[in-house]
Chain A
Amino acid sequence: MTKRGYSLQHQLIIRTALLMIIVFVVLSAGVWDYAKRAADISFNRLLNSASLSIIERITVRDAQIDLDLPYAALSILELAPDDKVFYEVLDHRGQHLTGHQQTPAPTGYHPTSRPEFYNAYYKGEAVSWVIQSKHLTAPIANGWVVIKLGQTRRARTELADEIFYSALATLFGILLLTLLLVWLGVRRALQPLSIISNNLHAQPFNNRQPLQNTPIQEVAPLVDAINDYQQQLLTNLTTMKIFIADASHQIRSSLGGLQGQLDIALQTTDSHELKSRLIKIRHEYQKLTRLTNQLLAHALVTHRSDSLTPQKIKLNTLVEELLTEVVRDYAHTDIEFSYTAADQPIQLPGDKISLKEALKNLLDNAVRYGPDNNQIDITLGRIDEQTIEIIIDDSGPGIAPHQRRQALQRFSCLNPAISGSGLGLAIVETVIQAHQGTLKLDRSPHGGLRVFIRLPGTPL
């Protein structure tokens, strides 16, 4: 599920740039529209005032319509020297009166005294027009006289372009400035990360120095987390080193014993003595096998408690299966087993394999350290709604109160006469701790050892 690596800095800058470009495009469209409208409004005002001056000069005289064209009016339009001006006046019958011929009119025009603006091509050029009418009420000319006045669009296009490009330049400047600020901000924000990674790189792996605390509030939790993690790793590493040292000591001693016995056996000529040597070798070998199995079991439960998600365990079924196996294995002995469980079966979340391994270790211990007529009792019960209890009693020698803490430690040996692997109770404790439970040693009613286990669990 690992994604391809990517740079936070690049990502932030690229995303900001994309956003800014979208904003830039939208704003440009707005500015373009505004520039055009602004140019149109100013030039239309000029056109309109010119057309008004013309329309005022239309009079009826001597039974005919007379127009005295005011050149001053047209000269207003000369403010745009590159543009051409066209005009046409139509009489009350709609006939051409004076000016240019065949000028365009807006479609569906109804004569009115209010000016109307429109764009149309005339003589191959884009021209902005104003059309305006005047009502004549003379007997010979009763009706609307229409004037159309047009001007080519060069000057207004120039004005629109000028407004547009200067606004665009400002916008572009703002865009660049924003990107620069974002880039600086991201770099500044990510700088502590590179400082931390440089510090980490510079340290040798087994350095015990934690990272220096930082005054930056946002980064402090990260530094704390890294320091905690490092501390945990170092603790685990130390535990592991001690464990390996202990384990190799145990294995080497055992192998050494075997080697010695084998060497002596090889030199023995007496067949009776050879047999007794072989019995010793076999005994030593069995110890080594048990040690190896327990070491592997320890590694197994440690690994499983680190890595597995808990599943639901039916505790009664598990204990009954285990007890059946143990009774079968010790059927040839006089050991008595008993099992007491509450009426309602119990379930708990956890890892079935390691829990079974732990309980098996406890039963094996009870058999191993107990007398021939041992009495081993398993009791399952409930303390309250959320807690269950497993009690294992035996009638062995038990463990004296002052030695109980030591008994839980790895490779501790309480009784040199009976050598165990020294891992049994350590395995049990690892498993119980991984299940958020507690383990307590006490004296059983038969005088032997009582093991109390309390675990979070509920009725099935």
Chain B
Amino acid sequence: MRILLIEDNEALADATQEYFRQIGHPLDWTISVEQAQKNLSWDDFDLLILDINLPGRSGYQLLQSLRHKGNTIPVLILTARAEIDDRVSALDLGADDYMVKPVDFRELAARCRALLRRERGEASNIMICGNLILNLATHQITVNHEPVELRLRELQLLELFLKNLDRVLTKEEIANRLYTFDEAYTPNAIEQTLTRLRKKLSDSSLRIKTIRGLGYLGHIHD
């Protein structure tokens, strides 16, 4: 996987590059939008980490022109501005995620992995979520390379959470996806399936949080 970092603060860029090299994801670094456009034109990248305040053209302009050309490469925005207005406009312009400086590198790497996971999950049948690997074609699941046996409902539930990471799923949404109209189900059944799933995947990077009164949220902690 190839990541392009567009950042004009040299110290930050240098440290980011070093951190990603250490965790085994070397990244390319350019200092301006103009340079980034050259790199993008002759190389394929899987992810862009984009600063907003850049000398010359701004990160927003690059994002806008990429999306205008129909380029769907995942983009993570880095900015020093913490206003949520900024976030709304960044996401409106087609950014996939957003972080405010100063960022924790572990958090940055986790967000990058989440974006790449989402991208790859759509493209292939293998979902790699931290130490949990799900093969959508064969329905095989491993945690730390150890196979885990799941029942059909548990598998469906797992797939639902992995495809909706970091989003709240209400009990109704889960029931609608897991059961057809004719199948009778009790809200308790979902709770029981979830309890078994949590138990079987207790060593995995997947956390499924219950928010009483709101729903459930799946998150990969790696």
Which A positions have Cβ atoms within 8 angstroms of B? 289, 293, 296-297, 300, 320, 323-324, 327-328, 331-332, 336-341, 352-353, 356
Residue on A with the closest CB to B87?
Answer: A353
State whether B213 touches A339 (Cβ < 8 A).
yes
Residue on B with the closest CB to A335?
Answer: B209
Could you mark each residue 168-212 of chain B with 1 if its beta carbon is under 8 Å from any beta carbon of chain A, else 0? 100000000000000000000000000000000000000101111
Q: Is B102 an interface residue (CB 8 A)?
A: yes
Q: Which residues of A contact B211 (CB under 8 A)?
A: 323, 327, 337-339
Q: Which residues of A contact B168 (CB under 8 A)?
A: 320, 324, 327
A-B contact pairs, 6 of them (CB 8 A): A324-B167, A327-B219, A331-B221, A332-B219, A338-B214, A353-B84
Q: Which residues of B contact A340 (CB under 8 A)?
A: 213
Q: How far is the CA of A320 from the CA of B211 in the complex (A)?
A: 10
| Nearest 7 A/B pairs, CB to CB | A331-B219, A338-B212, A339-B213, A332-B221, A339-B214, A331-B207, A337-B211
Q: Which residues of B contact A293 (CB under 8 A)?
A: 82
Give the shortest distance, in Å, between A368 (CB) and chain B (any CB): 16
State whether A328 touches B212 (Cβ < 8 A).
no
Give the shortest distance, in Å, between A271 (CB) and chain B (any CB): 17
Interface of B is mostly: mixed
Q: How far is the CA of A337 from the CA of B213 in the complex (A)?
A: 9
State whether A323 touches B214 (Cβ < 8 A).
yes
A296, A323, A331, A336: most-surrounded residue (chain B CB, <10 A): A331
Given A337-B209, A337-B212, CB of A324 within 8 Å of CB of B217 = yes
State whether A331 touches B217 (Cβ < 8 A).
yes
Give the shortest distance, in Å, between B191 (CB) and chain A (any CB): 15
Q: How far is the CA of A196 from the CA of B207 in the complex (A)?
A: 69
Q: Which residues of B contact A337 (CB under 8 A)?
A: 209, 211-212, 214
Residue on B with the closest CB to A352?
Answer: B84
Q: Which residues of A contact B212 (CB under 8 A)?
A: 336-339
Q: Which residues of A contact B85 (CB under 8 A)?
A: 353
Q: How far is the CA of A337 from the CA of B214 in the complex (A)?
A: 9
Q: How far is the CA of A336 from the CA of B213 in the complex (A)?
A: 12
Give the shortest distance, in Å, between B77 (CB) and chain A (any CB): 16
Given A293-B82, A324-B168, A353-B85, CB of A332 within 8 Å of CB of B213 = no
Q: How far is the CA of A324 from the CA of B214 in the complex (A)?
A: 9
Q: Is B43 an interface residue (CB 8 A)?
A: no
Given A324-B168, A331-B207, A331-B219, CB of A338 within 8 Å of CB of B83 = no
Q: How far is the CA of A289 from the CA of B83 in the complex (A)?
A: 16
Q: How far is the CA of A42 from the CA of B207 in the complex (A)?
A: 118
Give the shortest distance, in Å, between B101 (CB) and chain A (any CB): 10
Name B87-144 residues within 8 Å CB distance of A. Answer: 102
Q: Is B28 an interface residue (CB 8 A)?
A: no
Q: How large is the interface on B (under 10, 10 to 19, 20 to 34, 35 or more residues)?
A: 10 to 19
Q: Which residues of A contact B219 (CB under 8 A)?
A: 327-328, 331-332
Q: Is B46 an interface residue (CB 8 A)?
A: no
Given A324-B168, A339-B212, A353-B85, 16 more pairs with CB closer than 8 A: A293-B82, A300-B82, A323-B211, A323-B214, A324-B166, A328-B219, A331-B221, A332-B221, A336-B210, A337-B212, A338-B213, A339-B211, A339-B214, A340-B213, A353-B84, A356-B84
State whether A341 touches B82 (Cβ < 8 A).
no
Q: Which residues of A contact B167 (CB under 8 A)?
A: 324
Q: Which residues of B contact A352 (CB under 8 A)?
A: 84
Residue on B with the closest CB to A282?
Answer: B104
B85, B167, B209: most-surrounded residue (chain A CB, <10 A): B209
B85, B167, B211, B221: most-surrounded residue (chain A CB, <10 A): B211
Q: Which residues of B contact A341 (CB under 8 A)?
A: 213
Q: Which residues of B contact A289 (CB under 8 A)?
A: 102
Give the shortest distance, in Å, between A255 (CB) and chain B (any CB): 15
State whether A296 touches B82 (Cβ < 8 A).
yes
Q: How far is the CA of A323 from the CA of B210 in the complex (A)?
A: 12
Q: How far is the CA of A353 from the CA of B168 in the complex (A)?
A: 21
Q: Which residues of B contact A328 (CB under 8 A)?
A: 166, 217, 219
Give the shortest distance, in Å, between B43 (CB) and chain A (any CB): 32
Give the shortest distance, in Å, between A186 (CB) and chain B (any CB): 50
Q: How far is the CA of A293 from the CA of B207 in the complex (A)?
A: 28
Q: How far is the CA of A353 from the CA of B88 in the complex (A)?
A: 11
Give the shortest distance, in Å, between B171 (CB) and chain A (any CB): 13
Q: Which residues of B contact A331 (CB under 8 A)?
A: 207, 209, 217, 219, 221
Q: How far is the CA of A289 from the CA of B82 in the complex (A)?
A: 13
Give the shortest distance, in Å, between A335 (CB) and chain B (any CB): 9
Q: How far is the CA of A352 from the CA of B83 in the complex (A)?
A: 11
Q: Which residues of B contact A327 (CB under 8 A)?
A: 168, 209, 211, 217, 219
Q: Which residues of B contact A323 (CB under 8 A)?
A: 211, 214
Name B40-85 residues within 8 Å CB distance of A. Answer: 82-85
State whether A332 touches B83 (Cβ < 8 A).
no
